[in-house]
């Protein structure tokens, strides 16, 4: 009923192949975007923006990147944290070398640097598959973190080894650095993630995405029908690392403000992989849902006892949070192994028939 498509006729190829072919989807997507751009900065306080929404958007971008690689091209990667670190350190070096450069351009250049590194570490994927590839990318993670810790050039010889986001303006408005307000940083992160989501969606619907999926589903068959594994796999690594690199740069410049290598340790790689799995492998929407789940649920659980007026020791609260969160992950994976995106799909199918299901 709510999702009824009856009466929506497509008279052109363009409308038939649109990202959102159904009117209801277009309306919902439009409303969400308008709410995110206009309502959220007006309504949300600094805590919500700074501690919840900005990390959510940045993690969503990283999850989107990993989803292209793991969900669409079928190459398991545990190097996400390392590729994000490449983006962050590259952005830091670029902004300190070219202080006048537009910060978004710096982010994109940092993404390019990450893409190069990603291609380099993607080369073994031509020979090794599955779990073995995961181990190989794990090596990338450890090597990159070690490198940034070891070589002082990356931090401009800062004695503490931290990189700090320098104050930078865009169109006269402070975007990074301590003076940048939370709404501005939120909007920059939102703009980038929206742009990259559109790019990702169109990539996976086109020739590139189809060749990725062919490789994922059966690489030998794909090779026989003319998909070149070398180019396809490396392209997946490059684009995925590009997304992760931009996310890493944002992570330091828009969210943390300053960071050490520990901010990109193996836990980040696992976290992003969990986002992809929980959100739904091979789904753009799933990347967002997964990021929302992993970022927001712990914060909700941390605040829940207080909202309910229960006073309990913080250590106990943290332990309960970890247990409930772990339990929720297991529960969701049992209920829907294909992730939150699949749940949304099921809900949509039900809404189509509502209120007369059969």
Sole window of 128-136, 194-202, 233-241, 305-313 interacting with another protein (rule: CB under 8 A):
305-313
Phi, psi of 221 (to 5 degrees): -60, -40
Q: Of residues 308, 334, 357, 358, which one binds another protein by CB under 8 A?
A: 308
Binding of residue 272 to another protein (CB under 8 A): no
Q: Which is nearer to another protein, 2 or 152 (CB)?
A: 152
Q: Are the CB atoms for 77 and 240 separated by under 8 Å?
A: yes
Binding of residue 141 to another protein (CB under 8 A): no
Q: How far apart are CA 68 and CA 47, in angstroms?
A: 31
Q: Which is nearer to another protein, 177 or 229 (CB)?
A: 177
As a residue count, the chain comes to 358
Q: Of residues 220, 307, 334, 358, which one binds another protein by CB under 8 A?
A: 307
The CA-based angle 163-168-173, given to 5 degrees, is: 145
Q: Of residues 153, 318, 333, 353, which one binds another protein by CB under 8 A?
A: 318
Sole window of 175-183, 196-204, 226-234, 331-339 interacting with another protein (rule: CB under 8 A):
175-183
Q: Of residues 17, 129, 179, 198, which one binds another protein by CB under 8 A?
A: 179
- Give me the least distance between CB of 350 and another protein, in Å please: 18
Tokens of 248: 């890493």
Binding of residue 299 to another protein (CB under 8 A): yes
- Give me the least distance between CB of 148 and another protein, in Å please: 11
Q: Of residues 262, 330, 331, 346, which one binds another protein by CB under 8 A?
A: 262
Q: Write each residue from 273 to 292 as x if it is in contact with another protein (CB under 8 A), else as -, in one continuous string.
A: --------------------
Q: Which is nearer to another protein, 258 or 345 (CB)?
A: 258
Where in 28-47 is the site for another protein (CB under 8 A)?
Answer: 45-47
Beta strands 168-170; 173-176: pairing state: antiparallel
Binding site for another protein (CB under 8 A): 45-47, 50-51, 55, 146, 149, 159-162, 164, 166-167, 177-179, 256-260, 262-263, 265, 299, 302-303, 306-309, 313-315, 317-319, 322
């Amino acid at each position: 009923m709510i999702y009824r498509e009856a009466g929506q006729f497509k008279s052109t190829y363009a409308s038939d192949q649109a990202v959102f072919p159904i009117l209801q989807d277009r309306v919902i997507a439009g409303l969400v975007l308008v709410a995110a751009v206009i309502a959220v900065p007006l309504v949300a306080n600094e805590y919500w923006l700074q501690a919840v929404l900005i990390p959510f958007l940045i993690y969503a971008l990283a999850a989107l990147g990993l989803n292209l690689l793991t969900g669409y091209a079928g190459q398991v990667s545990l190097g996400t944290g390392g590729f994000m670190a490449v983006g962050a350190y590259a952005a830091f070096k670029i902004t300190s070398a070219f202080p006048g450069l537009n910060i978004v351009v710096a982010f994109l250049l940092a993404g390019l640097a990450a893409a190069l590194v990603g291609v380099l570490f993607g080369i073994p994927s031509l020979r090794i598959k599955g779990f073995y590839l995961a181990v190989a990318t794990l090596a990338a993670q450890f090597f990159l973190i070690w490198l940034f810790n070891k070589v002082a050039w990356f931090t401009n010889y800062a004695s503490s080894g931290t990189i700090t986001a320098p104050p930078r303006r865009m169109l006269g408005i402070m975007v990074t650095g301590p003076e940048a307000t939370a709404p501005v940083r939120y909007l920059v992160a939102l703009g980038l993630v929206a742009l990259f989501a559109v790019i990702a969606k169109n990539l996976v619907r086109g020739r590139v995405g189809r060749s990725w999926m062919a490789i994922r589903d059966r690489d030998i068959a794909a090779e026989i029908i003319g998909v070149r594994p070398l180019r396809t796999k490396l392209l997946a690594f490059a684009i995925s690392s590009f997304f992760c690199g931009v996310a890493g740069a944002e992570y330091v410049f828009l969210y943390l403000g300053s960071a050490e290598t520990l901010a990109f340790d193996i836990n980040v790689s696992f976290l992003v992989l969990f986002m992809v799995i929980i959100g739904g492998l091979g789904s753009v929407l799933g990347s967002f849902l997964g990021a929302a789940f992993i970022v927001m649920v712990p914060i909700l659980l941390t605040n829940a006892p207080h909202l309910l007026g229960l006073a309990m020791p913080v250590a106990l609260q943290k332990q309960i949070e970890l247990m409930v969160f772990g339990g929720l992950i297991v529960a969701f994976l049992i209920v829907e192994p294909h992730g939150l995106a699949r749940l949304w799909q099921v809900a949509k199918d039900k809404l189509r028939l509502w209120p007369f299901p059969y």
